[in-house]
Structure 1
Amino acid sequence: MASLTAFTVLVALVGVERLAELVVSKRNAAWSFARGGVESGFGHYPFMVVLHTGLLVGALVEAWVVRPSVPSVLAWVFVVLVLLSQGLRWWCITTLGSRWNTRVIIVPGLAPVTGGPYRWLRHPNYVAVVVEGVALPLVHLSWVTALVFTVLNAFLLRVRIRVEDEALSTLPVASRA
């Protein structure tokens, strides 16, 4: 039972982190719109919200219903991956600063950011999402949730990355940030 309680706390903390992201995102959206920001791909956004909420709820429900016996070493490996994915996510958020958003909002005239993790990856935030989507449920062996989220997220990311790349292609040559 203690590991289920600890898992519940972990998922709740990730949920709180998501709420913090939404606060930052709302502030940054206002910043972008005040500078002429243009939103793209709003149609997929509600699905993304439902999918990410479903990850948290699904992981908890599956863990509490199935109540698997989880080897400590395995749980800790996945906890470390969850923490690393959160670190990468917040590195992306701090690197993009006011330009980071959960929505696709482009401020015309601002070059794409190519510093921080964007120096090596075009979409590092989605690497964090993919790792977390697998690792978080597997902390407590909620493998059905991990599998369903991963498959649905793959479809979502195909759309999302296409939308972002099209929006980013309207910007001038990239600059270091």
Structure 2
Amino acid sequence: MVSSAHAYLGFLVLLAAERLVELVLSQRNAARAFARGGVETGHGHYRVMVILHSLFLVACGAEVLGLSRPFPGAAGYAALGVALAAQALRYWAIASLGEHWNTRVIVVPGLPPVTRGPYRYLRHPNYVAVVLELAAVPLLHGAWVTALVFSLANALLLRVRIRAEEAALGTAYAEAFAGKPRFLPEVHRG
């Protein structure tokens, strides 16, 4: 019989494999952007982001195994639901951006901002997915220290990342997204 910790480690391996596929897609899209005159900003914070996200998966497994975290039952299943919803949001954002999506801040001058998909409602739906994931994936198996530490570190990193990204995207982006919230969609009562 497979223990819940082993199942969790399997989940983390699948998540790591998915991230590798995303990196391949990102590199392909980055090469296309550079071929079209794309300009990259944010080199410094990108390295920190790569390290943070790489250590995240290791920390999840290390806390569960090293501190013998038990599966938290209903809370673990709820966290799994949040993690899967975060993945769905991430893929919706990636599909909406198409070849414009990558993990770096590369802007092709003259391209209009993407305002379809989840970008109709939010400026940064992919970052919402990341925030949800960094909280939910560790909590899936009771790794609350990892959830707390990496969520706080990610919040600090996102402050830098979003400022750099929005500055690089410029006036057209600012105008297109002037009335849209960054992270939480507005609910209008009618």
Q: CA deviation at 1:174?
A: 4.5
- Counterpart amino acid of 2:19? R
Distance of 2:85 and 2:11 partners within structure 1: 14
2:75 corresponds in structure 1 to 74
User: Is contact 1:11-1:56 (8 Å) kept?
Assistant: yes
Aligned with 2:106: secondary structure? strand
Equivalent runs, 1:73-92 vs 2, <5 Å: 73-92=74-93
- Counterpart amino acid of 1:154? A
1:58 corresponds in structure 2 to 59
Q: CA deviation at 1:66?
A: 1.1
Q: Deviations over 1:36-57 (max 9, x none)?
A: 0000111111100010011100
Distance of 2:165 and 2:72 partners within structure 1: 40
Distance of 1:93 and 1:70 partners within structure 2: 31
Gaps of 5+ in 1: none
Aligned with 1:62: secondary structure? helix
- What's the RMSD between the two structures over aligned residues? 1.4
Equivalent runs, 1:85-164 vs 2, <5 Å: 85-164=86-165
User: Is contact 2:63-2:69 (8 Å) kept?
Assistant: no
- Counterpart amino acid of 1:64? L
User: Is contact 1:78-1:138 (8 Å) kept?
Assistant: yes
- Counterpart amino acid of 1:129? V
Q: CA deviation at 1:170?
A: 4.8
User: Is contact 1:110-1:171 (8 Å) kept?
Assistant: no
Q: Deviations over 1:10-52 (max 9, x none)?
A: 1111111110110000000011001000001111111000100
In terms of mean alpha carbon deviation, does 115-124 or 61-70 score higher? 61-70
Q: CA deviation at 1:71?
A: 2.9
Q: Count the aligned residue pairs.
A: 175
Q: CA deviation at 1:171?
A: 4.2
User: Is contact 2:8-2:141 (8 Å) kept?
Assistant: yes
Instruction: Return the structure number with greater relative CO, CA threshold 8 A, min gap 6.
Output: 1
Distance of 1:171 and 1:159 partners within structure 2: 20
Aligned with 2:110: secondary structure? coil
- Counterpart amino acid of 1:57? V
- Counterpart amino acid of 2:75? L
1:33 corresponds in structure 2 to 34
Distance of 1:31 and 1:170 partners within structure 2: 23
User: Is contact 1:91-1:116 (8 Å) kept?
Assistant: yes
TM-score by length of 2: 0.88
Distance of 2:53 and 2:70 partners within structure 1: 25
Aligned with 2:81: secondary structure? helix
Aligned with 1:169: secondary structure? helix
Q: Deviations over 1:59-113 (max 9, x none)?
A: 0000001112223211111111111101111111110000001000001100110
1:48 corresponds in structure 2 to 49
